Amino acid sequence: MRIDLNGVVTSIAQRPCKHFDERLDEADISLLVIHNISLPAGQFGTPYVDDLFMGVINCDAHASFSDLQGLRVSAHCFIKRTGEIIQYVPFAKRAWHAGQSEFDGITTCNNFSIGIELEGTDTTPYTCAQYKTLALISKAIMQRYPKITPSRIVGHCDIAPGRKTDPGESFNWQLFLNMLEQPS
């Protein structure tokens, strides 16, 4: 995978959304945050995650969507169960994925992080295809943004403890970190 100067992965699907803003300084990019999402919760392969990131979700489509009304959220990338990856926000821009957060004593992690959503739940094992894609994109990110090292790849739970639990107990950190060490 190649990331261009604007932070766009040139070989994956692009779905530019409007839920982002400018970074204070692109040189500050130094953290990768792994999340999970499924809409409705525990259901995979629906169009609703895409609809949410694109700002067009029909909140009447499912009873659990009522709290999504007016929510403006995004991730840089979303990795489906099949391993397909979609980019919503160029890495050079600030996606709205972390919310109230802190890492290493610095708040507002959106300012200096990249957010990747995995289609999943805290308790459903992720697929081999997802780990493979996540490792590939993470290696490309670390090459383009060298301040991101394996020790600066965290779960949403690590930057928003008590508020967030993803990617959850089902995420195999050791497997993922081992994959990062393997040649591409």
Catalytic hit among 22, 117, 169, 181:
117
SS3 category, 119: strand
Reference 169, options 159, 153, 155; nearest CA is: 155
Dist. CA 38–CA 45, nearest whole Å: 9
User: What residues are paired with 96 via a beta bridge?
Assistant: none
Residue 97 is encoded by which pair of tokens? 């994925």
- Residue 22 a catalytic site member: no
Count CA atoms within 13 Å of residue 133 on its CB side: 24
Reference 39, options 14, 16, 71; nearest CA is: 71
Dist. CA 56–CA 147, nearest whole Å: 34
Phi, psi of 148 (to 5 degrees): -85, 115
Dist. CA 67–CA 124, nearest whole Å: 23
- What CA dihedral angle connects 138, 139, 141 and 142, to 10 degrees? 110
Active site residues: 117
